[in-house]
Chain A
Amino acid sequence: MSVVPALSYEGVGFSYAAAPGASASGEVLRDVTLEVPEGEFVLLVGATGSGKSTLLRLAKPEIAPAGRLEGEVRAFGRDVRGLGPVESARAVGYVFQDPDAQIVCDTVWHEVAFGLENLGVDEGEMRRRVAETCNFLGMEPWLRMRTAELSGGQRQTLALAATLALRPRLLLLDEPTAMLDPLAEKSFLSLLFRANRELGMTVVVATHAPRPMLDYATRALRIEDGSVLPVGLGELAKAPSLEPVPRRGGPSACGDPASRSAAASRVVPASRSAAASRFAGEKDLLRADNLWLRYARDGRWVLRGLDLSVAAGEVRALVGSNGCGKSTLLAALAGALRTQRGRVRNAAAASQALLPQSPRALLARETVADELSEWRRAGGYDAAEVSAALGRIGLAGAAGRHPYDLSGGQQQLLALEKLLLLHPRLLLLDEPTKGLDDAFRARVAARVAAARDAGATVLVATHDLGFVRAVADSVSLLFDGEVAVTEPTATFFERSWLYRDR
């Protein structure tokens, strides 16, 4: 007797209902046939927009996209189109990407119980399931907290708990860790792994950054041009990281492979002295002395006696753990947050731009073209430059679309380009590569490098060490509200015990 797979696609093709005025057929999937045996941990990799979400959503009829579906999607041998909402909720769980948008209730316990309430589970059974789920995920300490007080990592764990409480046999996750910092990602994945191994749940994760999950996965599938093909886990581990973007008109301060290997073999590498001397004669563009900042009168100090100086033309990366004050520091340096003590001297105070963590905080117009034109007068650029900018970020064909209809990566590029059109002398970037796939990371890196080559000073707060290596001249490590160390990038990576990008 053959074993029924947890999830199977048989000759599945899917095209979105064509938008009015659109000529393209909107075909996303073509003749996809695959089987996921019960108990596996499967990665579904592919670039943003390759159809990963569509493929997963087709297995969940309540949230399946509108369009034309061919072939059959089966969960545990049953065509999912025949599953009612109750059966579907019990058989297939789904966790979304955005930690903010998928929380419904305002207390943790209510969120965990929400799905059970919907399914009319009686009170006794509900108590057991909420208790067991919280025990399994170690959520008891924050059971009575309000969801608004949770960190992103906790919110995502809560989303997982709310789904696990329904005891689905198959768990589908769409980029569940894209918005999390590396540590929150690790702890979320370990919980997911436990659900897979200890509860025997079949797990399918769609991701564009499979590396942190390779230790857990049993196999991987790649989706490309609408087709799904198996890919070796080893192959994914070998995938190249971000390539360094050398400075125009000279060798990179930190990046080229030759100097990197030299750095590994010598005590005082040539690249370090080169980087150290690069800005030796430069005047500081930005200088902070003894900054103290906290958000509430009796709150903890986020910045405590922080000193920082950034030379004109330098690209400085700010790294450090979550909550160490990177974003706060950027806002304080920009003069958008008042410090309780200390002084910021900013030679570019009148010509600076800040890219916030979420590009949506910057996107205020109805169309992509309007977005880039919003600050035309102040920036002194014309319509021709706007269309050139659209071309540079690959959105020439999307000028009339709403920014929210773009992918996360495109939104980030659009927000960055909006700032770059102003030619700011100081560019402050807060997690510019968060949630982006490798292709978009590389494009963001290229645009930042272009701004650097044009003479801008860049300060970038990030967890993305590949990005740091690709564009930064030097790195400052923030700890306990202070700068613990500032070094040229190559030296920093070479001497660091923790921070290496591969």
Chain B
Amino acid sequence: MSESAHRELTGPVAGEKNLRPGPCVARPDAAPARRRPTPFETCHATVPAVCLAGTVALSMLAAQPVCVGVSLAGALAFSLAARGARATARGLVWQVPMLALVCLFNPLFSASGSTLLFKLGPRSVYAESLAYGATMGALMVAGVLWLEDAAAVLTQDRLLALAGRRMRSLPLVVSMAAQLAPQLLGRAHAVRTALDACTAAGPRPGRREGLVRTSTLLMGWALEDSLGRADAMRARGWESGLPRTCYRTERLRRSDVAALVGLAALLALAAAGAWVACADWRFYPRMEGLAPWWCYVPLVLLAALPTVVAAVGRVRDRGLS
């Protein structure tokens, strides 16, 4: 029997091992794939992009306790739906202390208000400035949560598909950079492993020297690769002189346009409501000027919308294993 015939039988399914044996880089076999249904997967990327961008912008601009509370609640609910309890909890581990810190620090810097709670040395702590701090802290947390949610929904390739026709090389640049980062990390790990394993070569170089050695080595390696990559690009018609076209995996359908129009209307209403709510509201000297309840209705709808979409998706998926 020939060597080739035997060789056929000597390996398993996976192909050649890449140079990323490190724990620092995601390996396909390292963990079972996290498969959580992604909300907004079945509509064009512009829909979640507009929805989430609008919500983030509104929550950042409406620094009023009720608006902020609504936004925070919406962001949290959507985070639970889109990212799961575990990821949300991991984020909250640092977000809650941040909120508390901002809340507590504000009275130390701005001693305004009329309801004196207590005195901390020479500083007076008022309920109003504490509330102001809490609102600002919650606003920051809500902003961060919405951005995390957006990242979970809009994967990089969906986001890049939104790039306009004039910026066609932008997606390419970004995707090359996105490839480079894990490759560099994997190689850095390979270089470090090799060096750590070569004890016969004497003591490890100092931290700084080691860093210089590794980065020089990786730079040379990447440059060498880039020559090969440039050839591979040219061999496939790069710089052919023809205008580049664009392969799109998503198409804007009529239903997407309808959703966008609806979203725009809701955003306008929510903005108007938030504007009224903020215009009447003041923290100092005492908190007053709460707008009537119907001002908040569009905002509540907007903040709840992503979670509702996620929930509807789940309901539609029921019966699937």
Interface set of A (CB-CB < 8 Å, partner B):
60, 62-63, 84-86, 89, 93-94, 96, 98-107, 109-110, 113-123, 126-127, 130, 147-156, 159, 162-163, 166, 179-186, 211-215, 237, 241, 294-296, 298-300, 319, 321-324, 327-328, 330-331, 334-337, 349-358, 360-364, 374-375, 377-379, 404, 419, 422-425, 428, 463, 465-466, 498-502
For B109, list chain A residues within 8 Å (CB).
none
Tell me the bound Cα distance from A204 to B3 in angstroms.
22
Within 8 A of A (CB), among B1-42: 1-4, 6-19, 21-23, 26-32
Chain B residues positioned under 8 Å from A102 (CB to CB): 228-229, 231-232
Determine the chain A residues whose CB is within 8 A of the CB of B8 once the complex forms. Answer: 182-183, 186, 212
Give residues in B with beta carbon < 8 Å to A: 1-4, 6-19, 21-23, 26-32, 156-157, 171-172, 175-176, 178-179, 182-183, 187, 190-194, 196-203, 213, 216-217, 220-221, 224-226, 228-229, 231-249
- A100-B225, A335-B196 are known; give 5 further A-B pairs, CB within 8 A: A99-B16, A101-B225, A122-B245, A350-B199, A356-B190
User: Once the chains bind, are B199 and A151 in contact (CB under 8 Å)?
Assistant: no
Closest to A149 in B: B28
Q: Report B-chain residues with C-beta under 8 Å of the C-beta of A349.
A: 199
A323 and B12 contact, CB distance less than 8 A: yes
Residues of chain A within 8 A (CB-CB) of B224 are 101, 360, 404
Shortest Cβ distance from A423 into chain B, in angstroms? 7
- B172 CB, nearest partner CB in chain A, Å: 7
Report chain A residues within 8 Å CB of B32: 298
A89-B240, A152-B18 known; A358-B190 Cβ under 8 A: yes
B4 and A107 contact, CB distance less than 8 A = no
* Chain B hits for A328, CB < 8 A: 21
Report yes or no: B179 in contact with A147, Cβ–Cβ below 8 A: yes
Chain B residue numbers with a CB within 8 Å of A465 are 3, 6-7, 10
Contacts of A356 in B (CB 8 A): 190, 193-194
Cβ A89 vs Cβ B237 within 8 A? yes
Minimal beta-carbon separation of A458 from chain B (angstroms): 13
A218–B175 Cα distance when bound, in Å, is: 40
A184-B15 in contact (CB<8A): yes
Q: Are B11 and A211 in contact (CB under 8 A)?
A: no
Distance between Cα atoms of A362 and B19 in the complex (Å) = 13
| 4 A-B pairs with the lowest CB-CB distances in the bound complex, closest first | A153-B15, A152-B16, A378-B202, A183-B11
A356→B4 CA distance, assembly (Å): 26
Q: Do A353 and B201 contact each other (CB < 8 Å), given the known contacts A63-B235, A110-B175, A118-B236?
A: yes
Known contacts A185-B7, A214-B4; is-contact A117 B241 (Cβ 8 Å) = no
Contact B14 A107 (CB under 8 A): no
Q: 12 pairs across A/B with beta carbons < 8 Å?
A: A105-B176, A107-B175, A182-B8, A183-B10, A215-B4, A299-B27, A323-B12, A331-B193, A350-B199, A356-B194, A404-B224, A463-B7
Do residues B190 and A62 form an inter-chain contact, with CB atoms below 8 A?
no
The answer to whether B247 touches A109, judged by C-beta atoms less than 8 angstroms apart, is yes
Shortest distance from the beta carbon of B77 to any chain A beta carbon, whole Å? 26
Contact A361–B247 (Cβ < 8 Å): no
| Contact residue among B4, B16, B23, B193 (Cβ-Cβ distance under 8 Å from A211) | B4
Closest residue of chain A to B157 (Cβ to Cβ) is A107
CB pair B237 A86 closer than 8 Å? yes
User: How far is A322 from B15 in the complex, measured between Cα atoms in Å?
Assistant: 7
What B residues does A163 contact at CB under 8 A? 235-236
Pairwise interchain contact A184-B172, C-beta atoms closer than 8 A: no
Max chain A C-beta neighbours (<10 A), residue from B1, B182, B220, B225 = B220
- A498 lies within 8 A of B9 (CB): yes
Cβ contacts under 8 Å, B229 to chain A:
101-104
On chain A, the residues within 8 Å of B216 by CB distance are 364
Contact status A151-B14, CB under 8 Å: yes
CB distance from A145 to the nearest CB of B (A): 8
A334, A364, A498: which contacts B6 (Cβ < 8 A)?
Answer: A498
Contacts of B196 in A (CB 8 A): 334-336
Q: Is the CB of B11 within 8 A of A463?
A: yes
Most buried by B among A166, A323, A334, A374: A323
The answer for the CA separation of A379 and B192 in the assembled complex, in Å, is: 19
A186 touches B217 (CB 8 A): no
A62 touches B191 (CB 8 A): no
Partner of B176, one of A62, A93, A106: A106
B7 and A186 contact, CB distance less than 8 A: yes
Quick check: B197 and A153 within 8 Å, CB to CB?
Answer: no
Smallest CB–CB gap between B48 and chain A, Å?
17
A199 to chain B, nearest CB (A): 18
Identify the closest chain B residue to A99 (Cβ): B16
- Residue picked from A126, A360, A362, most chain B C-beta under 10 Å: A360
Give bound CA distance, A155 to B179, whole Å. Answer: 13
- B175 / chain A contacts, CB cutoff of 8 Å: 104-107, 110
Which residues of chain A are within 8 angstroms of B232 by Cβ–Cβ distance?
Answer: 96, 101-104, 159
Q: Which residues of A contact B29 (CB under 8 A)?
A: 299-300, 323
List the A side residues contacting B237 at CB < 8 Å: 85-86, 89, 115, 118-119, 166
- Contact: A98 with B225, CB < 8 Å? yes
Known: A117-B244, A211-B2, A361-B19. A336 touches B183 (CB 8 A): no
Question: B200 touches which one: A105, A148, A335, A378 (CB < 8 A)?
Answer: A378
Closest beta carbon of chain A to B245's beta carbon, Å: 5
Return the contact of B247 from the options A98, A101, A130, A156 (Cβ within 8 A): A130
Q: Which residues of B contact A149 (CB under 8 A)?
A: 26, 28
Give the residues in chain A near B14, CB-CB below 8 Å: 151, 153, 184, 322-323
Chain A residues with Cβ below 8 Å from B30 are 294-296, 299-300
Q: B193 contacts which of A60, A115, A336 (Cβ < 8 Å)?
A: A336
**Cβ-defined contact, A98 with B228, below 8 A:** yes
With a CB–CB cut-off of 8 A, which chain B residues contact A162?
Answer: 236
User: Which listed residue (B17, B235, B240, B249) contacts A327, Cβ 8 A?
Assistant: B17
Given known pairs A148-B182, A328-B21, the reply for A321 and B247 (CB within 8 Å) is no
Bound Cα distance A378, B201 (Å): 5
In the complex the two chains form, what is the Cα distance from A324 to B7 in whole Å? 16
- Please, how many angstroms separate the alpha-carbon atoms of A480 and B171 in the complex? 41
Q: Is the CB of A361 within 8 A of B191?
A: yes
Distance from B69 Cβ to chain A, minimum over Cβ atoms (Å): 35
**Cβ-defined contact, B193 with A321, below 8 A:** no
Q: How far is the CB of A502 from chain B (nearest CB, A)?
A: 5
Contact present for B18 and A119 (CB under 8 Å): no
**Contact assessment for A360 and B221 in the assembled complex, using a CB-CB cutoff below 8 Å:** yes
Measured CA separation A182–B29 after assembly (Å): 20
Chain A residues in 8 Å Cβ range of B231: 62-63, 96, 102
Quote the shortest CB–CB distance from B311 to chain A (angstroms): 25
Does the CB pair A110–B157 fall under 8 Å? yes
Query: Which residue on chain B has the smallest CB distance to residue A302?
Result: B29
Choose among A63, A155, A500 the residue that contacts B1 (Cβ–Cβ < 8 A): A500
Cα A296 to Cα B179 in complex, Å, equals: 21
